[in-house]
Chain A
Amino acid sequence: MEPKQTIQSSQEGFGIFWKGYLTVPFIKDWYELSNQWEIPKGKKIRIDLSEIERIDSAGIQFLIYLKKTTNSNHQVLELTNHSLAVLKVLDLLGLVSFFGDRIKVKKEHANEVEFRYGTRKVS
Chain B
Amino acid sequence: MDLTEVIEAYLVESDELLRDMEVILLRTDTTLPTDEDLNAIFRAVHTIKGTAGMFGFEATVSFAHVVENLLDDLRSHTIQFQSHLTEILLKAKDHLLYLVLNETKGKIPQEKLNLGERILDEMKPFLSANVSQVPQKKQMSSEIQDQTNLKNPNKTNDFSPDSNANGIQSYLISFRPNQNVFSHGLDPISFIGYLKKIGTIISLKTIDQFLPEGNEYDPENNYLGFEINFSSEKDLESVQKVFNFIEEDSFLHIYPPGFTIEDLVDLSNQLPEEEIFLGNLWKEIHILNENSLLEYLEEIKSRKTGVPSASSSTTQTDMGIPNSSSEITEQNKESLKSSTIKVDSKRIDNLINRVGELVVSCANMNQLIGDADDPNLQESSLVVMRLLNEVREISLKLRMVPIGESFQKYSRIVRDLGKELHKDIRLITEGNETELDRNIVEKLGDPLTHLVRNACDHGLELPEERQKKGKPKQGTIRLNAYHEAGSVVIEVSDDGNGISKEKVWKKGIEKGIVYGELPDSDEEVYKLLFHPGFSTASQITNVSGRGVGLDVVYQNIESLRGSITVKSIPSKGSVFILRLPLTLAIIEGFLVAVGKSHFIIPMEMVLECLHFSDDHKTESNQFFALRGNLIPFLRLKDYYPCDSRSDISRENIVIVRNGEKKAGIVVEELLGEYQTVIKPMGSVFRHVKGVSGSSILGDGNVALIIDVPSLFERTITIENQKLFSHRG
Chain A residues near B (Cβ < 8 Å): 24, 27-28, 30-31, 56-58, 60-62, 64-65, 68-69, 72, 89, 92-95, 98, 116-118, 123
Q: Residue A92 contacts which of B192, B213, B222 (CB distance < 8 angstroms)?
A: B192
In the complex, besides A92-B193, A94-B203, 20 extra interface pairs with C-beta distance below 8 angstroms are A28-B219, A30-B219, A56-B189, A57-B182, A57-B187, A58-B187, A61-B223, A61-B224, A64-B224, A65-B217, A65-B219, A68-B208, A68-B211, A69-B217, A92-B192, A93-B226, A116-B203, A117-B203, A117-B204, A118-B203
Interface membership of chain B positions 151-181, coded 1 if the CB is closer than 8 angstroms to chain A and 0 otherwise: 0000000000000000000000000010001
Question: DSSP class of A's interface residues: helix, strand, loop or mixed?
Answer: helix
Neighbouring A residues of B204 by C-beta, 8 Å? 92-94, 117-118
Which of A27, A30, A57 contacts B188, CB < 8 Å?
A57
Smallest CB–CB gap between B196 and chain A, Å? 8
Tell me if B189 and A69 are in contact (CB < 8 A): no
Which residues of A sit under 8 angstroms from B205, Cβ to Cβ?
94, 118
Contact A65 B213 (CB under 8 A): yes
Asked if A58 and B220 make an inter-chain contact with CB atoms under 8 angstroms apart, the answer reads yes
Please, how many angstroms separate the alpha-carbon atoms of A56 and B208 in the complex? 16
> Are B285 and A117 interface neighbours, CB within 8 A?
yes
Can you list the 8 inter-chain pairs with the closest CB atoms, starting with the nearest? A117-B203, A31-B219, A27-B219, A56-B187, A93-B206, A57-B189, A24-B182, A94-B204
Interface check B641, CB cutoff 8 A: no
Q: B residues touching A (Cβ–Cβ < 8 Å)?
A: 177, 181-182, 187-190, 192-193, 196, 201-206, 208, 211, 213-214, 217, 219-220, 222-224, 226, 285
| A62 contact set on B, CB distance < 8 A | 219
Are the C-beta atoms of B213 and A72 separated by less than 8 Å?
yes
Whether the Cβ atoms of B220 and A27 lie closer than 8 Å is: yes
| A93-B192 in contact (CB<8A) | yes
Q: Which residue on chain B has the smallest CB distance to residue A26?
A: B219
Question: What are 17 A-B contacts defined by CB distance under 8 Å?
Answer: A30-B219, A57-B181, A57-B182, A57-B224, A58-B219, A60-B224, A61-B224, A64-B224, A65-B213, A69-B213, A92-B201, A93-B189, A116-B201, A116-B202, A117-B203, A117-B204, A118-B205
Docked-complex contact A58 and B211, CB < 8 angstroms: no
Q: Closest residue of chain A to B224, judged by CB?
A: A61
A83–B676 Cα distance when bound, in Å, is 53
Known: A61-B222, A64-B224. A95 touches B206 (CB 8 A): yes
Q: A57-B224, A61-B222 are in contact. Are A117 and B202 (CB under 8 A)?
A: yes
**Complex: how many Å from CA A62 to CA B1?**
38
Contacts of B196 in A (CB 8 A): 92
- B208:A64 contact, CB within 8 angstroms: yes
CB nearest neighbor in B for A72: B213
Chain B: minimal CB distance from A65 (Å)? 6
Q: Chain A nearest CB: distance from B214 CB in Å?
A: 7
Contact B222–A57 (Cβ < 8 Å): yes
A73, chain B: closest CB distance, angstroms: 9
How many A-B residue contacts, CB cutoff 8 Å? 80
Question: Which residues on A sit within 8 Å (CB–CB) of B193?
Answer: 92
CA distance A123 to B202 in the complex (A): 9
A95 CA / B206 CA spacing, docked (Å): 7
Residue of A nearest to B185 (CB): A24
Q: Which residues does chain B contribute within 8 Å of A72, judged by CB atoms?
A: 213
B287 shortest CB reach to chain A, Å: 12
Please name all residues of chain B whose beta carbon is closer than 8 Å to the beta carbon of A68 when the two chains form the complex.
208, 211, 213
A72 to B226, CA, bound (A): 24
Assembly CA distance A104 to B219 (angstroms): 28
> Which residues does chain A contribute within 8 Å of B190, judged by CB atoms?
56
**Chain A residues whose CB sits within 8 angstroms of the CB of B224 once the complex forms:** 57, 60-61, 64
Q: How far is the CB of B212 from chain A (nearest CB, A)?
A: 8
Let me know if A69 and B208 touch, CB within 8 A: no
The answer to whether residues A61 and B220 also contact, given A92-B204, A93-B206, A117-B203 and a CB cut-off of 8 A, is no
A61: chain B residues at CB < 8 Å are 208, 211, 219, 222-224
What is the bound-complex CA distance between A72 and B211, given in angstroms? 14
Compute how far the CA of A96 lies from the CA of B193 in the bound complex, rounded to whole angstroms. Answer: 16
Please indicate the chain A residues that have their CB under 8 angstroms from the CB of B182 in the complex. 24, 27, 57-58
User: Chain A: which residue is nearest B189 at the CB level?
Assistant: A57
Asked whether, in the complex, the Cβ of A24 is within 8 Å of the Cβ of B220, the reply is yes
Q: Measured between alpha carbons, how far is A66 from B193 in the docked complex, in Å? A: 24
Most B CB within 10 A of own CB, among A30, A62, A93? A93
CB of A25, distance to nearest CB on chain B (Å):
10
